[in-house]
Structure 1
Amino acid sequence: MTAPELDPARLRAWWAHRQGLDGSLSGADPATVLTRTGWARSVGGAAPYLGLFARAGLSREAVDAAVAALEIHELPSARGCTYVLPAADFALGLTLGAGAPEGELAAARKHLGVTDAEIDALRAAVLAALDSAQAPLDPAAIKDAVGDAVRNLGEAGKKRGTATTLPLALGLLQASGEIRRSPVNGRLDQQRYGYVRWQAGPVDVADADVELARRYFAWAAPASLAHFRWFSGFTAARAKAAIAPLGLTPVAAAEGAELLLPPGLAEEFAAYRRPEKPHYALLAGIDGIHLLHRDLARLIDPADTERPVPGAKAGRVFGSDADPQCHIVVDRGRIVGFWEYDTERSELVHQLFVPLDAALDDALTSTEAFVRDQLGDARGFSLDSPKSRAPKIAAMREAAGNG
């Protein structure tokens, strides 16, 4: 028999509580939300906006103002991937993300004959160009400004995804906090950037691995070592070393999986009870409620595992996927529906797994208004488009019987 503290519904509700998806962060500022619930994955889609709106009711204007004020910013961090971070974590994120551009340079040295001397010279030229610029410069403008300091790497470079030396220099400068990317129109849901000079201060954080682990388990516990390895990209040995100083408490989970909890949360976790009333949130499929663990089965009720994936090939079911293929509706940590935004009709389209009640209708209506009036669209990622998501929308309308 499953122990009460490990009841799946209770665990899901606890994770949602720790993620601020229970109304507890209503009215909080963007940096506070990200500090409390974790860094928001950003891939040129609406996920950061949707997550901040669901947790704190934040408008796009408020989020964009926080970006402009450098209270939050999109930076390469864990696994070399871009996340939206609070200012207090800029240095940590950059420290953790530094390995990716360093690895790219090492590969370019080995396979493309790139030298440290030419990259150092290019970095200096880029900084000089940005110092004299009156506005952010996109990569094309930087290339024009630095002239022959950029070298074309020919067909060999194209095959390796590095056509010139410029991306190598830009990646290293960004990782060191000397430059940053500035969204062209100040928004997080697109991938058009210019670069500006930056003085982020020291970015070599001592014990960065431990500090990431400390934050991760505050955001995501109870979580397993495997969950932390996924988020961090660490090897098993590196992950074990990172969590060693934290004194995490093992929680004997069902099916032998060991979940870990910080000592400071043990009392709260033991006392926590799943709320009786639903609390709905409409989120992106890459929201932290899923992506911190990337263990989708945690959030799916057994009754929903065989549901067809909207717009997918026949036979593909929800429980077989590693990631949601649509945006998600969540109630106390359980995924209770899919949704997408139809730009042609300016409406939110959904497929629900539970009956529509007043609270759910309010969540659907408010999110639809937020997307329509403030975002204009709710792309899942940079290459998402109204055309590419049309099959999903058609399938959801058919399943819901409302199209």
Structure 2
Amino acid sequence: MQLDPSTAPPALDPARLRAWWSHRQWLDRPHTGATAAEVLAATGWARSVGGAAPYLGLFARAGLHRAEVDAAVAGLEVHELPSARGCTYVLPAADFALGLAAGAAAPEAELSAAERHLGVERDEVEKLCLAIESVLDTADPVDPTTIREAVGDAVRSLGEAGRKRGVSTTLPLALGLLQSRGRIRRVPVNGRLDQQRYGYVAWDQPVRGDAADLARRYFAWAGPATLRHFRWFSGFGAATARTAAAEAGAVPLADGSELLVTHELAAEFAEFTESEPPTEPHYTLLAGIDGIHLLHRDLPRLLDPADAARPLPGGRAGRTFGGEADPQTHVVLDRGRIVGLWEYDVERSEIVLQPFVPLDDALRDAVARTEAFVRDELGDARGFSLDSPKSRAPKIAALRACSPTGR
């Protein structure tokens, strides 16, 4: 089934598609007054890897300050959970059950691998799960070292073979299972999302939702999108993704199109793309793993060809920006197009910018706003947990060399 010809949009140029994706991602205008939960429900779960991405995304979309986001985390209005593909995302409370269901297969797969390769038995891990639950309560987080000491011999070392596979003891296997079952949750020790030191508390969160439920969310956030895009986000196999998309009502834009859109969005999409495209720039500074990219993980769709051919900042000779699966720096977006790269220089307390477009007042203002946010509220804008001022120094130097302002 495809869209009715009377509602199907005409052939789309990339700029109109990009503008639509930007519109659906709340990146075409500030949604001041929206809560963190409302932003995430409307635009999609925010990937979290111990970096600044969730903060930057919520600031860009709704002007939310770090204290507001941290308060939402503390109040369980939003939370970081293992979700799609077993990866951690920040989700709104309404999606906790679905997020856990979407990620449930990953810890099971890790346990199965440990059974095959490390001699771990499911029974010992299940007994360890019970022991962990017995030492946790719902109020005071307990760190992994204290948990290990409290459960004693219930945790077993997996020796050199385990270290080679990245699982030195049975504790992570049990913690992963308990999180996926909604029995425990991981709490950042200082309440911040841009670090990876955690304690654990007891929880009683239902886990429910199926592939079609995830597809409905996904195509509302990311459509039009292809089955390949949906498979990347969900981790589903081809048959499961195809069935889920069909049950969610995602249909081709037109005969032969790989792009799918739901009936619910079809009329709005057609109206948007048939109208005059936005002419005024609206710049936002985002993390490289922001949902505008990562929901599809198809970087060229956000790039003009000339920008795709640009050298990768700080990369080896011959590597180009558009040749990467993911941006290796943070990005500047305008109407769905990546129009620049940036990093934060901690030593100088400033953003280092490489624009792909002329540096106008609107872009200067966007940089200044984000620079103040990072400097005053975050202290840094790490891309991921192991990112540091030292590790990103080559990229900063490369960006500065291309900056029209020398900074």
TM-score by length of 1: 0.95
Code of the residue aligned with 1:203 in structure 2: it is V
Q: CA deviation at 1:301?
A: 0.9
The corresponding residue for 2:120 is: 114
The corresponding residue for 2:343 is: 340
The corresponding residue for 2:6 is: none
Q: Check conservation: 1:5, 1:270, Cα contact below 8 A.
A: no
Aligned CA-pair RMSD: 1.4
Please identify, of 61-70 and 302-311, the stretch whose mean Cα deviation from structure 2 is larger: 302-311
Aligned equivalents of 1:102 and 1:317: distance in 2? 38
Q: CA deviation at 1:360?
A: 1.1
- 1:151 aligned counterpart, secondary structure: coil
Code of the residue aligned with 1:35 in structure 2: it is A
The corresponding residue for 1:216 is: 218
For the pair 1:251 / 2:257, whether they are aligned, the reply is no
- 1:386 aligned counterpart, secondary structure: coil
The corresponding residue for 2:189 is: 184
TM-score by length of 2: 0.94
Q: 2:399 aligns with which of 388, 393, 396?
A: 396
Please identify, of 149-158 and 339-348, the stretch whose mean Cα deviation from structure 2 is larger: 149-158
1:304-338 CA-to-partner distances (Å, cap 9, x unmatched) read 12211111112211121111111000000000000
For the pair 1:237 / 2:243, whether they are aligned, the reply is no
Please identify, of 149-158 and 9-18, the stretch whose mean Cα deviation from structure 2 is larger: 149-158
Q: CA deviation at 1:248?
A: 2.0
The corresponding residue for 1:228 is: 230
The corresponding residue for 1:80 is: 86
For the pair 1:323 / 2:326, whether they are aligned, the reply is yes
Q: CA deviation at 1:247?
A: 2.6
The corresponding residue for 2:268 is: 268
- 1:6 aligned counterpart, secondary structure: coil
Q: 2:22 aligns with which of 16, 27, 35?
A: 16
> Which 5+ residue runs of structure 2 have no aligned equivalent?
1-8
The corresponding residue for 2:3 is: none
Q: Which residues in structure 2 correspond to 1:298-377 (within 5 Å)?
A: 298-377=301-380
Q: Which runs of 4+ in 1 moved over 6 A?
A: none
Q: Check conservation: 1:310, 1:395, Cα contact below 8 A.
A: yes
Q: CA deviation at 1:144?
A: 0.5
Q: CA deviation at 1:358?
A: 1.7
Aligned equivalents of 1:117 and 1:314: distance in 2? 51
Q: 1:198 aligns with which of 190, 203, 206?
A: 203
Q: Check conservation: 1:25, 1:56, Cα contact below 8 A.
A: yes
Aligned equivalents of 2:250 and 2:353: distance in 1? 40
- 2:253 aligned counterpart, secondary structure: strand
Q: Check conservation: 1:210, 1:243, Cα contact below 8 A.
A: yes
Aligned equivalents of 1:396 and 1:24: distance in 2? 27
Q: Check conservation: 1:5, 1:11, Cα contact below 8 A.
A: no
Q: CA deviation at 1:27?
A: 2.0
Aligned equivalents of 1:264 and 1:312: distance in 2? 43
- Count the aligned residue pairs: 395
- 2:351 aligned counterpart, secondary structure: strand
Aligned equivalents of 1:188 and 1:61: distance in 2? 11
Percent sequence identity is 70
> Which 5+ residue runs of structure 1 have no aligned equivalent?
none
Aligned equivalents of 1:396 and 1:80: distance in 2? 33
- 2:391 aligned counterpart, secondary structure: helix
